[in-house]
Amino acid sequence: MESNLPPIRNSSDDADPRPARSTPLRLARFGATFLGVSVVSGVLLAGVALPAAGGIGLAAKGTAEGFDDIPDDFKTPPLTQATQIFDAKGGLIAKVYERDRTVLTADQMSPFMRQAQVDIEDARFYEHGAVDLKGILRAVGKNAESGTASQGASTLTQQYVKNVNVENAGDDHDAVLEAQRKTLGRKIQELKVAIKLEEELPKDQILTNYLNITFYGNGAYGVEAASQRYFGKNNKDLTIAEAATLAGLVQNPSQYDPKLHPVAAQKRRDTVIDKMLENKHITADQAKEAKAAPLGLNYRDPQNGCITAKAGMGFFCDYVRHVVKQDPAFGKSAEERKKLWNTGGLNIYTTLDPDKQAAAQDAVSSKVRVTDTVSAAATMVEPGTGKILAMAQTRPYGLVKEKNQTVVNLNVDAAMGGGNGFQPGSTFKPIVAAAALEAGLSPTQEYSSPNSLEYPTMTTCEGTWKNEGRPKTVVPNESAREKGPYQLKEAMALSVNTYFVQMEQEIGLCAVKQMANKLGITTKASGKPLEEVPAMALGVEEMSPLTMANVYATFAAEGTYCSPIAINKITTVEGKDVPVPAGHCEKAFSEKTAQALNTVLNGVTENSGTGAALNLEDNRQIAGKTGTSDRKRAAWFNGYTPQLATAVWLGGPAGGVEMRDITINGKYHTEVFGADGPGPIWRDAMNQALRGAPKQSLPMADIPDPAPRSDPGKAGTGTGSPSTTPSGSQH
Name the pairing type of β-strands 388-393 and 375-381: antiparallel
Q: Topology of domain 305-731, per CATH? A: Beta-lactamase (3.40.710)
The mean pLDDT value for 497-523 works out to 98
What integer pLDDT is reported at residue 613 of this predicted model?
A: 92
CA distance 373 to 389: 27
Q: 256 and 246 in contact (C-beta within 8 Å)?
A: no
**pLDDT tens digit string along 342-387?**
999 999 999 999 999 999 999 999 999 999 999 999 999 999 999 9
Q: Is the pLDDT of residue 728 over 90?
A: no
CA distance 356 to 381: 10
**pLDDT tens digit string along 520-540?**
999 999 999 999 999 999 999
Q: How high is the mean pLDDT of the chain?
A: 86
The mean pLDDT value for 71-86 works out to 81
CA distance 122 to 138: 13
DSSP E strands, 332-434: 346-350, 375-381, 388-393
Entry pTM: 0.82
Q: 561 and 534 in contact (C-beta within 8 Å)?
A: no
Q: Which amino acid is at 449?
A: S
Model confidence at 62, pLDDT cuts 50, 70, 90, reads very low
CA distance 610 to 689: 23
- The residue ranking higher by pLDDT, 318 or 399, is 318
What integer pLDDT is reported at residue 368 of this predicted model?
A: 98
CA distance 67 to 48: 12
Question: Residues 197, 203, 208, 212: what is their CA dihedral angle, to the nearest 10 degrees?
Answer: 40
Model confidence at 680, pLDDT cuts 50, 70, 90, reads very high
Model confidence at 719, pLDDT cuts 50, 70, 90, reads very low
What integer pLDDT is reported at residue 135 of this predicted model?
A: 64
Share of the chain above pLDDT 70, in %: 83
Report which secondary-structure segment, H or E, holds 323: helix 314-326
Model confidence at 175, pLDDT cuts 50, 70, 90, reads confident
What integer pLDDT is reported at residue 141 of this predicted model?
A: 55
* Per-residue CA distances from 149 to 32, 190, 315, 416, 670 (Å): 10, 19, 53, 54, 79
Would you kindly state where each structural domain of the chain is located, as residue ranges? 24-292, 305-731
Pick the CATH number of 24-292 from 3.40.50.300, 1.10.3810.10, 3.40.50.2300, 1.10.760.10: 1.10.3810.10
Least confident piece of the model among 258-272, 285-299, 474-488, 665-679: 474-488
Instruction: Decide if 24-292 and 305-731 have a common fold.
Output: no
**pLDDT tens digit string along 97-151?**
988 999 999 999 999 999 999 999 999 999 998 777 776 666 555 555 555 444 4
CA distance 493 to 496: 8
Q: 221 and 101 in contact (C-beta within 8 Å)?
A: yes
Q: Which amino acid is at 393?
A: Q
**Residue 245 gets which letter from DSSP?**
H
Model confidence at 709, pLDDT cuts 50, 70, 90, reads low
Model confidence at 73, pLDDT cuts 50, 70, 90, reads low
CA distance 664 to 659: 9
Q: 195 and 48 in contact (C-beta within 8 Å)?
A: yes
Question: By C-alpha distance, which of 578, 613, 100 is closest to 324?
Answer: 578
Question: By C-alpha distance, which of 681, 553, 692, 699 is closest to 618?
Answer: 692
CA distance 428 to 541: 9
What integer pLDDT is reported at residue 445 of this predicted model?
A: 97
Q: How many CB atoms lie within 10 A of CB 271?
A: 16
Q: Is the pLDDT of residue 635 over 50?
A: yes
Name the pairing type of β-strands 577-578 and 585-587: unpaired
Model confidence at 15, pLDDT cuts 50, 70, 90, reads very low
Report which secondary-structure segment, H or E, holds 230: helix 222-231
CA distance 433 to 426: 12
What integer pLDDT is reported at residue 68 of this predicted model?
A: 57
What integer pLDDT is reported at residue 381 of this predicted model?
A: 98
What integer pLDDT is reported at residue 146 of this predicted model?
A: 53
CA distance 631 to 709: 31
CA distance 87 to 667: 35
The three-state secondary structure class of 592 is: helix
Model confidence at 608, pLDDT cuts 50, 70, 90, reads confident
**Residue 693 gets which letter from DSSP?**
S
What integer pLDDT is reported at residue 27 of this predicted model?
A: 38
Q: Which residues contact 211 (CB under 8 A, 6 or more apart)?
A: 104, 109, 113, 114, 117, 222, 223
Question: By C-alpha distance, which of 702, 730, 709 is closest to 718?
Answer: 730
Q: Is the pLDDT of residue 260 over 70?
A: yes
Q: Is the pLDDT of residue 28 over 60?
A: no
CA distance 287 to 216: 23
List, as one string, the DSSP characters of 482-500. --S-EEHHHHHHHT-HHHH
Question: By C-alpha distance, which of 488, 407, 495, 387 is closest to 444?
Answer: 488
Q: Is the pLDDT of residue 72 over 90?
A: no
Share of the chain above pLDDT 90, in %: 70
- Half-sphere exposure in the Cβ direction for 303 (13 Å, CA): 14
Q: Is the pLDDT of residue 325 over 80?
A: yes
Model confidence at 39, pLDDT cuts 50, 70, 90, reads very low
Q: Is the pLDDT of residue 234 over 90?
A: yes
- The residue ranking higher by pLDDT, 26 or 678, is 678
